[in-house]
């Protein structure tokens, strides 16, 4: 996407952006140098890209994935009321409220390899059976054959603590 910078003497400190006819229009203070503006534009572009990716996510895809994992690893016995993508989870990658049967999956997983998304969904499905992170829970999660690989991937990108099980998933 092309970028057009519009400088204004009326702007004292803030920089904002909007898309106008397919062009990212950046509104900036007149006294802000190009060098100071470049990292701000990069962050605004990233935010716009994330917003666009979130629009493309389909909860139906998550539902189908959860149904498949349920059949393959839980004998089809699990029930949930909803599984949805969430743009609100910046620190967690998935969450489950077993009493309500609701599962939410962070939009950030949409850009990771499919086996990582499958692992996180498997993790949340296991919470429908076992609400804590005890040994029984981890035995359920480990039914997914790529669990260790997915955990390793998450560790490598800094999403998990290296010295303990991945409590930050939910």
Would you kindly state where each structural domain of the chain is located, as residue ranges?
3-56, 59-169
Task: Determine whether domain 59-169 maps to CATH 3.40.50.720.
Answer: no
pLDDT in tens, 127-166: 999 999 999 999 999 999 999 999 999 888 774 444 445 4
pLDDT in tens, 33-92: 999 999 999 988 888 877 776 667 889 999 999 999 999 999 999 999 999 999 887 778
DSSP string, the chain: --EEEEEETT-SS--EEEEETTEEEEEEETT--HHHHHHHHHHHHHHHHHHHHHHH--HHHHHHHHHHHHHHHHTT----SEEEEESS-SS-SEEEETTTTEEEEEGGGGGS-HHHHHHHHHHHHHHTT-SS-SHHHHHHHTTSTTHHHHHHHHHHTT-S-TTS--GGG-
């Amino acid at each position: 996407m092309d970028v057009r910078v519009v400088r204004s003497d009326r702007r004292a400190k803030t920089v904002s952006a909007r898309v106008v006819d397919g062009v990212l229009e950046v509104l900036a203070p007149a006294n802000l140098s190009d060098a100071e503006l470049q990292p701000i534009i990069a962050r605004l572009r990233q935010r716009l890209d994330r917003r666009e990716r979130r629009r493309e996510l389909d909860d139906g895809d998550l539902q189908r994935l959860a149904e498949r994992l349920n059949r393959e690893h839980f004998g089809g016995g699990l029930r949930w009321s909803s599984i949805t993508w969430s743009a609100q989870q910046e620190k967690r990658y998935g969450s489950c409220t077993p009493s309500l049967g609701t599962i939410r999956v962070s939009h950030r997983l949409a850009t990771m390899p499919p086996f990582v998304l499958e692992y996180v969904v498997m993790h949340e499905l296991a919470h429908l059976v076992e609400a804590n992170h005890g040994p029984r829970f981890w035995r359920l999660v480990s039914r997914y054959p790529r669990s260790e690989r997915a955990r390793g991937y998450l560790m490598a990108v800094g999403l998990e603590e290296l010295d303990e099980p991945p409590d930050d998933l939910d």
